[in-house]
Structures are given as C-alpha cells and as structure tokens.
Structure 1
C-alpha cells in the first residue's frame, strides 16, 4: 500500500494551526476589508497585486474591534468605539484598544 501522507494537511485543529503561524501579524487571522485578502493571507495592493509586508490599517482596526474590549469607551468586542455617544469616523478604534488587542494576541 502506498503512503499517501505527503501532500495532505497535518491533522491539526485550526485553533492550534492559528498559533503556529509565528512571526505573522495577528490581524491576518481575519479577512481584509480593503484589499479582500482572505484570512491568513497577506494584504496586497489592489491595483498591481504587490504583496505588502504589513496588513492594511483597516484590517488591523477590524481585528482590534473583533477581539478586544476598549478601555477608553468601555465597549465589548465587535462593538465600535465611540466618543460622546458618536461612533469614531471611518470605523477607527482608540489607541488603547490596539494595545489591548496586542495583549490578547500574546
């Protein structure tokens, strides 16, 4: 019987596979709203398909919004940040939420 082990993915749960991607920005865990890069794929320039070393800012903001609570405006994950009851323009998040997302990724 021929060994068919090679060419197949390792039998590893996706939760473990995610943490095995050492050295990659944690925001790559979600798709990019700017360039439509799939999860775990690098961002690229839409006009010429040049691969970028770092994810787009929109992707990083979406990641922070998805995984972290905001210490500044006291909102839970997936809820947009706000100032005086108004959502921040462009879907941006507070700097403290970025820091919280970095702590949760580590």
Structure 2
C-alpha cells in the first residue's frame, strides 16, 4: 500500500502508535494490549506516549534533542517533561 494512502487510513490513531510500546511490546502501528489477558486497549500506554515524545520532539525545558532522554539537573528522567509532550503533539498536528 502506498504511504500516502496508509497515512489517511491511520489518521484516526494516536501518533504514538508509530513507535513500539516498551510496556506491552506491541509493534509499531499495532494496538497496545493488557499483559495479563491480551485484551486490546482503546488508547496507548503512557510509556509508549513517552517513547514517542522522546523520539519526535526536542524538549524546551531541558534543551535536549530527539532520541535523548530528558533530565533534571543532570539526572536522567524515566519520563519526559510535560512541555515535550506538547511539542510532540504540535508537531504531529
């Protein structure tokens, strides 16, 4: 399928589905699942949103580039800053 058509067919999905989910192991463009019973979730895991924001946006708060984890005074964070989520959402729109 051409990429131009694929984009429009996936337009209703959250853009975070473009990356693999570190929580449940769902592949890119596949829905997240509950690990205990395999039920498909209607939304993505917070860890997947964080991985997507880290992969696509620069953080205006700690001034790091995409693919680099956010930090607080030199200590790496496990999540990203809220402003980085906002940057990623604006870039996806």
| TM-score, structure 1 as length reference | 0.82
CA distance in 1, matches of 2:62, 2:91: 18
Given that 1:72 and 1:96 are in contact with CA atoms closer than 8 Å, whether structure 2 keeps it comes out as yes
**Pair 1:18–1:95, CA change in 2 (3 A):** farther
TM-superposed deviation, 1:47: 1.0
Q: How many residues align?
A: 92
Gaps of at least 5 residues in structure 1 are 1-9
Given that 1:18 and 1:29 are in contact with CA atoms closer than 8 Å, whether structure 2 keeps it comes out as no
Structure 1 position 98 matched with structure 2 position 85? yes
Aligned partner of 1:86 among 58, 72, 75? 75
Could you list the runs of 4 or more consecutive aligned residues of structure 1 that deviate by over 6 angstroms after TM superposition?
none
User: Aligned residue for 1:19?
Assistant: 7
User: Aligned residue for 2:18?
Assistant: 29
TM-superposed deviation, 1:19: 2.6
Aligned partner of 1:67 among 47, 52, 56? 56
C-alpha RMSD over aligned residues:
1.1
Gaps of at least 5 residues in structure 2 are none
| TM-score, structure 2 as length reference | 0.93
